[in-house]
Structure 1
Amino acid sequence: MLDHFIRHIREKNLLDSNKTYLIAISGGLDSVVLTYLMQMAKIKFILAHCNFGLRGKESDGDEQFVRDFAAKLGKEIFVQHFNTKGYAYENCISTQMAARDLRYGWFDSLVEEQKLAGTVVAHHLDDQVETIMLNLLRGTGIEGLYGMAEVKGELIRPLLAFSKQQLLDFAQQEGLSWREDSSNQDSDYKRNFLRNKVLPLLTEEDPAAMEVMIRSFGRVKDTGRAYFHFQNEWLKGHLQSEGAFQKLSIPDLLKIPGFKSVLFYWLRDFGFNYFQVEDLAQAIRNRNTGGSFHSSQAVLNIDRELLILGKKRESSKESQLIAASDQGFEINGEKFEMSLTPFTQLDTRPSSGMFDLDKVEFPLELRNWREGERFRPLGMKNFKKISDFLIDLKVPLIYKSQVKVLCSRGEVMWVVGYRVDDRYKVEKGSKTVLHIKKTEKE
C-alpha cells in the first residue's frame, strides 16, 4: 500500500516533500495509518489533536495515545481542549456541528501560525461513499453527489482512493496500534447507521459495491460539470444587467426543458433555496405577473415578460443634503456629478437633469419618494402623483422602491432618472444651468 500511496500523491500532485503539513490525528485507525504513510513517504508534518471532552476518560486516553505516538515518531504535536457542548449551546447547533467548526477553525489558525502548506485529513473511500449517500438522502442535488474533493483550498485528503479494509490490512501488516472510538458504534447517527448497517449489507451482496458506486458518482461529477458549464454559458448570453439589477426573459427561459434547474443555478448565490425556486417556477407557468419573491439577500419580481432581480440594500439614512459647493452625490452605487454652466444645449437623457439655477434653493435634499407625493412632470400643466407617474411608465415594482427624488424647498424638482419637474425647467431666458448627470463607469 505504501508504494500505491506514494504513486497516488505524486500522480495527483497532492503532497510536496519540500513542504510541511498539519496532520489531523484522532488516534483512530485512519489517522494513524495516514501519519505512518506520510512518515514512510518522507513528507514533513506536525500533528494536531482535538480533545472535545465528550467521552470522559476515553477522550483523555486518546490524547495520551497520540502524544506517545508523536514522541515515538519524533514529531511535534499540538493538542487543544474544547468545551464542545458549551459552544454548541451558545450557537444553537448540534454537538457534531460544534466539533466540526471548532476542529477546522483551530486547524486553519495553526496552518497560518506555523506557516504550513495545508491540513491533511484521513477521509477514505468508505467515508466518501457515506458522504455521497447522506447527501442523496438530504436532497442536495447534483453537486452533493460529487462527494469530497481530494484538495479543497488548504484541506487535503490523500486517502480517498483507499478503502477502510485496505487501511486495516496495512495497519495489521505493519503492526500498528490505534484507538477505537466507542461512539462510532452508535447507529442513532445517520452516518453510523449507513456505516454499520447499510454498507455491510451492500458489500456482503457485492464485495465491489463501493468501488462501483465511486466510479458511477465520478461519471455523475463529470456530467454535472458539463451541465453547470452550459448553464453558466446560457445565463451569460441571456442575463441583462441594468444598474444594480439583473433581468432575464421569461419566454427565453421557458424554451429550456427543466428550466427550474437554470433558475436555481442563477438564484442560489442570492440566498434563494430550492423550495422558493419551485414556487417561482410555478408562478412563471401560471403567468403571475407582479409576484415578488424574497431571500435574505435579494428580491425577485415577475414583471410581464421579465424576471427582475435586485440585491437588498442596507437601510440608509432617510435623506441626504446637497450643498451648492458639492460636486455630486451617489445613489444606489451610481455616481452623479453636479456642475453650473451657461445654457447652450438641453440634455434630455433620463440619467441627466437640467435646472434653472435661479429657481433652485440650496441645500437640496435627496431621499426616497413618499406615497401620495406629487410633482409636475416636465411638459405638463397639472400635478401628478409620483406613484401614478411610475405606473404610467410601467416601472417594475422592484425598481419603484429604490426611486429617489431631489427636492428644493421641500418640493420635488426631479424624480431622479425619470423626469424633471416643470417648475424647475431650463427656459430660453435661463442664465445659469444646474446640470446633474450620471458619471460613466470607468
Structure 2
Amino acid sequence: MLKKFQNHINEQLPFLKENKLLIAISGGVDSVVLAYVCKKMGLNISLAHCNFNLRGIESDADEDFVLQLAEDWELEVFIENFDTKKFAADEKISMQMAARTLRYYWFEELKAQLKFNYILTAHHADDNFETFLINLSRGTGLDGLLGIPKVNGAIVRPLLPFTRDDVEKFAKAYKLQWREDSSNSSTKYLRNKLRHDVIPILKGINPQLLQNFEKTQQYLNDAKSIVNDKVDEVAQNIVSKTKNNGVAFNINEIQQLNNPKAYLYELLNGYGFTQWQDILELLIAQSGKQVFSNTHRLLKDREYLILSEITNLPNESIKITYSQNVVLTPFGKLSISKVASKDEASKSTVYFDLSSLSFPLTLRKWEQGDAFYPSGMTGKKKVSKYFKDEKFSLLDKENTWLLCSGNDIIWIVGHRADNRFKVTDNTTQILKITIQ
C-alpha cells in the first residue's frame, strides 16, 4: 500500500509534496495510517485532534494516545476540546452535525492562523460508498451520487483509492497502534447501520463491489463534466451581475429552456436551497416573492431572479459629526474633507456647500415618502420615483442609503446629490465626500 500511496500522491496530488499540511487525526486506524504514510513520504505534516467530550474517559484516552503518537513520531500536534452537546443544543442540530461543524471550523482557524495550505482527512473508499448510499437513500441529484470529492477547496482526501481492508491490513503489517471508537459499533446511526448490516451483504453478492463502484463514479464524473459544460454555455445568456454584488437570472431566457427546473438546480445548488418547486414557481410569481436558504435568498424582481447573500448589516442610522474625517459604513468607507476647490463630481464623489449643512449629518436607509431635489434638475422628486426611473431592483432599493442634513436628503449615496446643497459661486467652504 505504501508504494501505491506514493504513486497516487505523485500522479494525482503532487501539490501536497510542496506544501504545509495539517492532518485531522482521531486516533483511529484510518487517520493513524494516513499520518504514518505521509510521514514516511517525508511530507511536511502536523496533526490536529478534536476531543468532542462525548465518550467520557474514552475521549480523553484518545487525546492522550494522539499526544503520545505525536511525541513518538516527533510531529507537531494541536488539540482542541469542545462542549459538543451544548453546541448541538444551542444550534438545534444533531450531535454528528455539531461535531462536524466544530471540527471543520477549528481546522480552518488553524489553517488561517498558522499558514497551512491543505487539511488532510482519512476518508477511504468504504466511506465514499457509504456516503453514496446515504445520499441515494435520502434522494439526491447527480452531485450527491458523486460521493466524497478527492479535493474540495483546501480539504484533501488522499486515502480515497484505498479500502478499509487495505488500511487495516497495512496497519497490522507495520504493527501500528490505534484506538477503537466504541460508538462505531452502534447501529443507531445510519452510516453504521449501512457499514455493519447492508454493505457486507452487498460485498457478499459481489466481492468486486468497491472496484465497480469506483468505475461507476468515474462515469458519473464524466457525465457531470458534460452537464457543467452545457450549464456554463446556457449561463452566458442567463446570468449577469447586479449593482450590489448579487447575481441576476433572466427569467425569459430560463423559461425558454427545455427543463427550467433542472437548469435552476444546476445554477443554484451551491447556495443551500432545497425548495426547488418553490424556486420554479418564482418564475411566474409576483415581484417581491422570495425563497431563502440558510445563507442566501432568491428574489423575484420583474424580469429577473436576484440571488444575494444574507447579511446582518445594521439598518440603524449613523451619525456623522463635524470633526469626523473617516466614517465606516456597511457599504464601505466615507472619506470627508474640506477642500479649497471643486473638481468634477461623480457617483462616488460629491461636493457640498458646507455652510448649508447642519451637523451631525445622518446616514440612514430610505423610507417611503422620502423626497429630494435631484442635482441637474429643477423641482422635487420622490425617492421611490427616482428608483423607478433609474430601474432600481428591489435588492438595489434595500441596499440604498441616504445622507441627510437634519430632515433634508443631501445625497442618495453613490447615485445623486441634492440640488439645494450644491457648491455655487458664493460658496466659501467646500465639503468633499468620497466612497471608498
TM-score, normalization by structure 1: 0.70
- Matched residue type, 1:258: N
Q: Tell me, yes or no, if structure 1 residue 372 matches structure 2 residue 357.
A: no
Q: Deviations over 1:113-171 (max 9, x none)?
A: 88777554332110111123223445564333333333445544322111122233444
Q: Summarize the alignment of residues 194-205 of structure 1 with structure 2, pairs less than 5 Å apart.
A: 194-205=194-205
Give the stretch that moved more between structures: 253-262 or 188-197. Answer: 253-262
Distance 1:36 1:254, change over 3 A: same
CA distance in 2, matches of 1:308, 1:113: 35
Which position in structure 2 is the counterpart of 1:82?
81
Contact 2:50 2:82 in 1 (8 A): no
Q: Summarize the alignment of residues 29-178 of structure 1 with structure 2, pairs less than 5 Å apart.
A: 29-38=29-38, 41=41, 49-59=49-59, 62=62, 74-76=73-75, 78=77, 80=79, 82-86=81-85, 88=87, 91-92=90-91, 93-101=93-101, 103-104=103-104, 118-139=118-139, 141-152=141-152, 155-174=155-174, 178=178
Q: CA deviation at 1:402?
A: 4.7
Which position in structure 1 is the counterpart of 2:258?
257
- Matched residue type, 2:252: P
- Matched residue type, 2:250: S
Could you tell me which runs of 5 or more consecutive residues in structure 1 were left unpaired when the two chains were aligned.
Answer: none
Q: Deviations over 1:283-309 (max 9, x none)?
A: 31x353443445666665433323345
Give the stretch that moved more between structures: 98-107 or 193-202. Answer: 98-107
Which position in structure 1 is the counterpart of 2:282?
283
CA distance in 2, matches of 1:179, 1:239: 51
Contact 1:329 1:337 in 2 (8 A): no
Query: Percent of aligned pairs with the same residue?
Result: 32
CA distance in 2, matches of 1:294, 1:101: 21
Distance 1:258 1:439, change over 3 A: farther
Q: CA deviation at 1:421?
A: 7.7
Which position in structure 1 is the counterpart of 2:303?
305
Q: CA deviation at 1:314?
A: 1.7
Q: CA deviation at 1:192?
A: 0.4
Contact 1:85 1:95 in 2 (8 A): yes
Q: Summarize the alignment of residues 292-371 of structure 1 with structure 2, pairs less than 5 Å apart.
A: 292-293=290-291, 300-309=298-307, 314-318=313-317, 367-371=364-368
- Matched residue type, 2:281: Q
Q: CA deviation at 1:197?
A: 1.5
DSSP 3-state at the match of 1:274: coil
Q: How many residues are treated as equivalent by the alignment?
A: 429
CA distance in 2, matches of 1:359, 1:47: 64
Contact 1:369 1:405 in 2 (8 A): yes
CA distance in 1, matches of 2:328, 2:176: 70
CA distance in 1, matches of 2:331, 2:183: 53
DSSP 3-state at the match of 1:224: helix
Distance 1:373 1:215, change over 3 A: same
DSSP 3-state at the match of 2:249: strand
Q: Tell me, yes or no, if structure 1 residue 239 matches structure 2 residue 236.
A: no
Which position in structure 2 is the counterpart of 1:208?
208
Contact 2:54 2:85 in 1 (8 A): no
Give the stretch that moved more between structures: 407-416 or 432-441. Answer: 432-441
DSSP 3-state at the match of 2:149: coil
TM-score, normalization by structure 2: 0.71
CA distance in 1, matches of 2:419, 2:52: 72
Which position in structure 1 is the counterpart of 2:249?
248
Give the stretch that moved more between structures: 61-70 or 178-187. Answer: 61-70
- Matched residue type, 2:159: L
CA distance in 1, matches of 2:68, 2:328: 66
Distance 1:202 1:288, change over 3 A: same
- Matched residue type, 1:371: Q
CA distance in 1, matches of 2:11, 2:329: 54
Contact 1:122 1:157 in 2 (8 A): yes
- Matched residue type, 1:274: T
